[in-house]
Amino acid sequence: MNIVVVGCGKIGAAIIENLIAEGHDVVAVDHNEQVVNDICTVYDAIGVTGNATDCNTLTEVGAANTDLFVAVTGSDEFNMLSCFLAKKMGAANTIARIRNPEYNDQSLGFLRQHLNISMSINPELLLAHELFNTLKFPSAVKIETFAHRNLEMVEFLLRAESDLCGLSLVDMRKKYNANFLVCAVSREGEVYIPSGDFVLNEGDKICIISSPAELNKLFKTLVPTRRQVKDIMIAGAGKTSYYLAKMLLAAGNSVKIIDNNKERCEELCEALKGAVIIHGDPANEEILLEEGISSADAFVALTNIDEENILLSFFASSHNVLKVVSNVNRRAFASVAEKLGLDSIFSPKKIVADVFVRYARALQNSLGSKVERLYKIMDGRAEALEFIIKSENELTGVPIKTLKFKNNVLIAGIIRKRKPIIPSGDDVIMPGDHVVILAAGHRINDITDIIK
């Protein structure tokens, strides 16, 4: 497809990288010539320097004939206006980055409808949702949700003290009274779609899928001594902190936010009734100790500096905080942090890139199913996709065990009329089902792509 991306910052660069990897033709647009040159040096994109609300620039980038026009600059208003103009010129689909909480809380639907924007995206809100989901399971590295939360996929590390070490998957299913599926294992940089005789080892990263109720039951047995997260301390008072705190407070949690920007702290005092807002340096050891980091159930590092988030997370871990989560954008830093023991590392640009890849694949799809969700899992080495089966195809109405799948592909779950099914060989896929596919080493555009 022909895609125009306006705004080449961290988020824009991540979107460009992933869309080019998907095989799309991308035009990168920014007002800063050096930024455009840097993008074109690294990625196989066409670069245009200019103002994307100017008709001459929009004509130059081919907005009238583009399949997808994306605006992800730092200005919500600029993004909405450029998408509006591109749509008027003939762009088939438009996506605008809209971050302001006022827009997202009150008038987002109105703006999208009247500006004819196909989709809006808020990286900070998406990140907050992922953080909130992860805090539900202190043992989890990452949680992904499917079909309106009827199915959840949990990633977690297998530590030396775990009872799962040395256990085959068949024996694991016999030992634990829960309906679940171990759908992927990452070991020493390789991802496996495991069979029943696969034996788990210390250091494995395991991916389990099931309904929320069954996962709760399983994790209470797997990690019986781990208490639920209730008291959360957040370093940094940005937009992600605001969204996350709102979710946590609504769920009955205690929230404390520390930031050195007095004006921002005063804003959050008004916006977050029930939260404790501390004006102070979140990187100051004495302040963290004084505000009770040692008694917190969870610590979330959300400052604007990757290095600071990593160091703060190590400090929290050294004080035996139950769950430590970090926002780290730079890939090299995230990799080092994970090797040093920080397992819950998140990046809004990675989350956003997944959304755009999913949307682009859905636009390309002309068969009987649609990509509804797409997540990069196992450090990006595999994908979990949710499809809606719109009509009958070669997979429907026949037992799964009779289908010939490509290597490293698995049907991990089926949701039928909001009822989750962990599929066996005798189950069948029907029109109207939501189907979760896990694939390693393949790009799945349509569900029929999983067949040999």
pLDDT tops 60 at residue 188:
yes
Please give the tally of structural domains in the chain. Answer: 4
Residues 180 and 102 in one domain: no
| pLDDT reading at 128 higher than 90 | yes
pLDDT tens digit sequence for 435-447? 999 999 888 888 8
Nearest to 346 by CA among 306, 386, 293, 288: 306
Q: Are residues 66 and 12 in the same domain?
A: yes
Cβ–Cβ < 8 Å for 418, 434: no
Q: Within a domain: residue 106? A: yes
C-alpha closest to that of 303 among 289, 318, 316, 319: 316
Instruction: Categorize the per-residue pLDDT at 292 as very low, low, confident or very high, splitting at 50, 70 and 90.
Output: very high
pLDDT tens digits, 64-81? 999 999 999 999 999 999
> Is 111 in the same domain as 25?
yes
What per-residue confidence (pLDDT) applies to 369?
65
In a domain, 350, yes or no: no
Cβ atoms within 10 A of the Cβ of 233, count? 25
Mean per-residue pLDDT, 430-436: 94
Residue 452's pLDDT is 86
Over 60: is that where the pLDDT of 368 sits? no
Which CATH number goes with the domain that contains 14?
3.40.50.720
| Residue where one domain finishes, among candidates 222, 256, 286 | 222
Q: Is residue 129 part of a domain?
A: no
Average of per-residue pLDDT across 398-411: 93
More confident residue, 350 or 47: 47
CA neighbor of 136 nearest in space, from 6, 401, 325 = 325
Domain's final residue, options 176, 191, 222:
222
What's the whole-model pTM score? 0.85
Domain that holds residue 71: 2-121
Complete DSSP assignment for 86-107: HHHHT-S-EEEE---HHIIIII
- Considering the domain architecture, whether residues 208 and 306 belong to the same structural domain is answered as no
pLDDT of the residue at 365? 65
Mean pLDDT across 308-331: 92
Domain boundary among 75, 90, 121: 121
Q: Is it the case that residue 311 has pLDDT exceeding 90?
A: yes
Please indicate, yes or no, whether residues 170 and 239 belong to a single structural domain of this protein. Answer: no
333 in a domain, yes or no? no
